[in-house]
Amino acid sequence: MNRNRHLVALGAASIALAAACQFEPTIVELHYSLNEEAIQSNNLLADDKNAQEHLSGALEFLFGTATNPSYVVLPDWRDEEFDPNNWGYYLLSDEEFDALKESNAWTYRVQIAAIEAGDLDAVEEPRYAGDLWARFQSLVADAPDDLDEPFDEDDPEWSYRDELIAVFESYYPNQRTTADLYRQQCFHCHGAEGGGNGSTADFLNPRPRDYRPGTFKFTALKDKAKPRHADLVRILKEGIYTTAMPSFRRFSDAQLNALADYVRLLAIRGETEILMIADFDPDEGMVPELLQENYELVVDRWRAASDSMIEYDGDVPRYDDHDAAERITRGEELYLSEKAANCVKCHGLEGRGDGESVKNNPDDATDDWGDPIKPRDLTRGVFRFGRRPIDIYRRIYAGINGTPMPEHFGMQIIDPETAETRNMTEDDIWDLVFFVRSLSDEKPVVHTETEEHGEASH
Ligand code: HEC
Ligand code: HEC
């Protein structure tokens, strides 16, 4: 335990310590490091090693360690029955839970078949699921010879065999196991604390996401809201087309949900850290009340994510609608007009991502992480957030967080046809979607089943 940790814990009387410190050796033991760049931005903290140790201790108190991550649960959250340590699990609807069970049944089909056959010795240890295996082993230790005996005397219908199968089917990894999966699958790109600075990162363009500022590009949300759980899971399933970010579809739904939980923990940790660094005052030290305030503020933003969903109530226009050609023409006018959407300034006259402002305005050529970025070449038909009409709609509506690509809904424009000043509407955005799609397709494409399901048909 960090020796400064008790200082914070003593002061923060209203914070209940949820995580016990248990250590178990792993192959490479990961440690969270402090956000060096953010620390350098506050001279007072940069010169104060002691205060930096306090900060490490405070963060460890709130979020645990890289091998045993865990949130401190605030008393208010208890009253509201909100437990961040089981965040994604409680967000699952009944339908999603059924899908998760189905996915587990497939992932662990070999194990489940062996249990069904009553041959417990033949059940193989699954990979990346230490907690599942431990639970199974403890049940096996008590298993009767006849697996058809009831598991619980009060419920004669539920046999020991049913229970053993349910352990696999209802599996949702704990945070420790997920941190280990992250170490094996994500760490080399995203880094231990999600700083986007793993050993492979320098070779990649775009760079792996630095989660710590809490900015995520690909959400279905407006107002720069934090991603929903579903947005993160989607990224893990699909990967990000034409970047190094792979698809992790080979893992079960439960594992992907738990990884999304872990990305969220790292982001919340990183954002809390950045706030504490900005607020640091050497006369006050690390103030526990401020720590709790910042922590709660960041978590609340994440809890509010779904409030910012971009919903479209009307019928989503289809590329085979009779007015598709008119939409393309109107979309082109909006795209080209300097006083309307002015996409041309970045994406260029032909959509090749070579607009003037990229050459003249450094802000339009740099992302929030300080890396160079180019407007997309729209003639190549690369849509990293998905190519369904609603996906492209959401991108144009809300822009891409952390990049120069702006939010367009509500933007003040001069209507290219009537020359009147007005705000950009949902319908304008659909027109732009149609035009953008026409840049990479010879003709408006007929809406297909695969697109409906968001399976990028690259
Ligand atoms: C080979 C390198 C690599 C690996 C391995 C990798 N990523 Fe990524 N990841 C990237 C890159 C590159 C991006 C940024 C893409 C972009 O900016 O469009 C990214 C972006 C992301 C994002 C941000 C999406 C958004 O909306 O901004 C999340 C979340 C993410 N990765 C999670 C993970 C998780 C979890 C794992 C492990 C299961 C993982 N990544 C493994 C390279 C990687
Ligand atoms: C200030 C510059 C700028 C303006 C203005 C701009 N964009 Fe972009 N756009 C970008 C950048 C940069 C990216 C690439 C972001 C990335 O790679 O993460 C991008 C990406 C895109 C994408 C790809 C989305 C995806 O899912 O991958 C589309 C589509 C797009 N822009 C359409 C438009 C349209 C339509 C307009 C006008 C309504 C517009 N952009 C205005 C800079 C701009």
Q: pLDDT tens digits, residue range 9-41?
A: 333 333 433 333 444 444 668 999 999 999 999
- The two tokens of residue 396 are 């144009």
What's the whole-number mean pLDDT along residues 344-372? 93
The pLDDT tens digits for 250-274 are 999 999 999 999 999 999 999 999 9
Place 286 in a pLDDT band, splitting at 50, 70 and 90.
confident
Q: Phi/psi zone of residue 351: left (φ > 0), alpha (ψ -120 to 50 degrees), beta?
A: left
Compute the radius of gyration of the chain from its Cα atoms: 25
Q: Which of 186, 185, 173, 161 lies closest to 107, judged by CA? A: 173
Count of CA atoms in the C-beta half-sphere (13 A) of 58: 30
User: How many angstroms is it from 457 CA to the middle of ligand 1?
Assistant: 20
User: How many angstroms is it from 269 CA to the middle of ligand 2?
Assistant: 29
Name the closest-CA residue to atom 29, ligand 2: 392
* Ligand with the closest atom to the CA of 429: 2
How far apart are the C-alpha atoms of 267 and 214, rounded to whole Å?
Answer: 5
Pocket test for ligand 1, best of 127, 189, 245, 262 (most atoms within 8 A of CB): 245
Q: 178 near 258, Cβ under 8 Å?
A: yes
Pocket test for ligand 2, best of 342, 400, 429, 458 (most atoms within 8 A of CB): 400
The pLDDT tens digits for 102-143 are 999 999 999 999 999 999 999 999 999 999 999 999 999 999
Task: Using a pLDDT cut of 90, give the percent of the chain over it.
Answer: 84
Pocket test for ligand 1, best of 188, 199, 209, 367 (most atoms within 8 A of CB): 209
